[in-house]
Amino acid sequence: MSRSTPEPTLVTPQVLREWRLPEPSGGKNARGSILVIGGSTETLGAVLLAAEGAMRAGAGKLQVATVASLAPFAAQALPEALVRALPETDDGAISADAADAVRDLAERADAVLIGPGMGDKEVTQRFGERLLPHLGGPLALDALGLACVTADAACVHHLKGRVVLTPNPTEIAFALHVEEDDIEADPAGCAVELARRTRAVVGLGGATSWIASPDDRLWQDESGTAGLGVSGSGDVRAGITAGLLARGAEPAQAAVWAAHLHGRAGERLASSIGPLGFLARELPAQVPAALAEITA
C-alpha cells in the first residue's frame, strides 16, 4: 500500500473494558433501531443471521427489508421484526427500485446494514447509488453492499466517518482492485488503505481480524477458532457490528467489539461442541454471554 501502516493495538478484554459500550436505559427505543437490508430468493438465511446477530448485540428494535416473495417467511422466522417487502428482479434479487421503497425506514433507523445475502452486483450497486445519498449514518456495508464502494470509494464520504465496512479478503480485494494474494501478503495495510480511501472504518475478517479507522488507528484481534470459517459466519459478524452501532457505539468501537464478540462466540462453541462443525446460526445466542464476560 502507498503509505506506512500504523502500529496496531492488540484487542483484549481489558482493552474493551476500558472502551465500554454505551449502556442505554429504558425501553427498546433507548437501545436503538436497526434496519437490515438484504437477501434474495436464494439467500434469505443471510438476512436472518445478520438480524439475529444485531439483536443479540443489544439493538432494541428490528426492521428487515428483503425480497417480496420471501418477506412472509422472514416475518415468520423473525417474530421480533417489522418486515418490509421489496421489489425484486426476475432473478430474485432486490431491485434498484427498492431503494425508493425502503428509504423511509432507512432514514428513520438508528443504524442501517446493507448487503447480507444480496444478489446481482450491478443491480445492488444501482440500489446503493440511489439510497446512500439520502442516509446520514450510522451505516454498515457488507458483502455485495460494498459494490458502491468498489465502484467509487468516495460514495460514503458524505457520511463523515459514520460507516463501517465489513469485507472478507475476497471482497476487500475487489474494493481495492487488487489480487487476493496482495491481501494475504499485507491484510493490515490493505484495511488501512481502504479506510483512508473511503473515510470509513474497515473491519477485515479472517483468521486474524484487522480493524482500521480513517484517522489511522489500527486494531488486531486474534480471537476465534478455525470453526468460524463456515458459511454464514460473516453475516453474523456484520449483524453484531450493526447492532452495536444501533445501540450507540461509535463506528470504530462497534467494529472492534464486534470482531472480538464474534471470535469469542466461536470459542465458546468450540469448547462446548467441538473445534469444527458448529453452525453460524448457533453464534448469535453466544453473544450476550460473551458480552457479559467482558463487561462483568
Which is it for strands 218-221 and 209-212: parallel, antiparallel or unpaired?
antiparallel
Sequence-distant (6+) residues with CB within 8 A of 181 are none
Write down the pLDDT at residue 28. 60
> Are the C-beta atoms of residues 67 and 40 closer than 8 Å to each other?
yes
Write down the pLDDT at residue 27. 59
pLDDT mean values, one per 10 residues, the chain (296 residues): 82 97 70 95 98 96 98 97 98 98 97 97 98 96 97 97 97 97 96 98 96 97 96 98 97 98 98 96 98 91
Superfamily of domain 29-295: Ribokinase (3.40.1190.20)
- The domains of the chain are located at 29-295
> Are the C-beta atoms of residues 74 and 150 closer than 8 Å to each other?
no
Q: Please report where in the chains the cell 488486531 appears, as a residue.
A: 220
Write down the pLDDT at residue 4. 87
Write down the pLDDT at residue 23. 82
Write down the pLDDT at residue 175. 97
Nearest to 51 by CA among 287, 292, 257, 276: 287
Per-residue HEC secondary structure of the chain comes to CCCCCCCCEECCHHHHHCCCCCCCCCCHHHHCEEEEECCECCCHHHHHHHHHHHHHCCCCEEEEEEEHHHHHHHHHHCCCEEEEEECECCCCEECCCHHHHHHHHHHHCCEEEECCCCCCHHHHHHHHHHHHHHCCCCEEEEHHHHHHHHHCHHHHHHHCCCEEEECCHHHHHHHHCCCHHHHHHCHHHHHHHHHHHHCCEEEECCCCEEEECCCCCEEEECCCCHHHCCCCHHHHHHHHHHHHHHCCCCHHHHHHHHHHHHHHHHHHHHHHCCCCCCCHHHCHHHHHHHHHHHHC
> Are the C-beta atoms of residues 93 and 40 closer than 8 Å to each other?
yes
How far is it, in rounded angstroms, from Cα 179 to Cα 166?
18
Write down the pLDDT at residue 118. 98
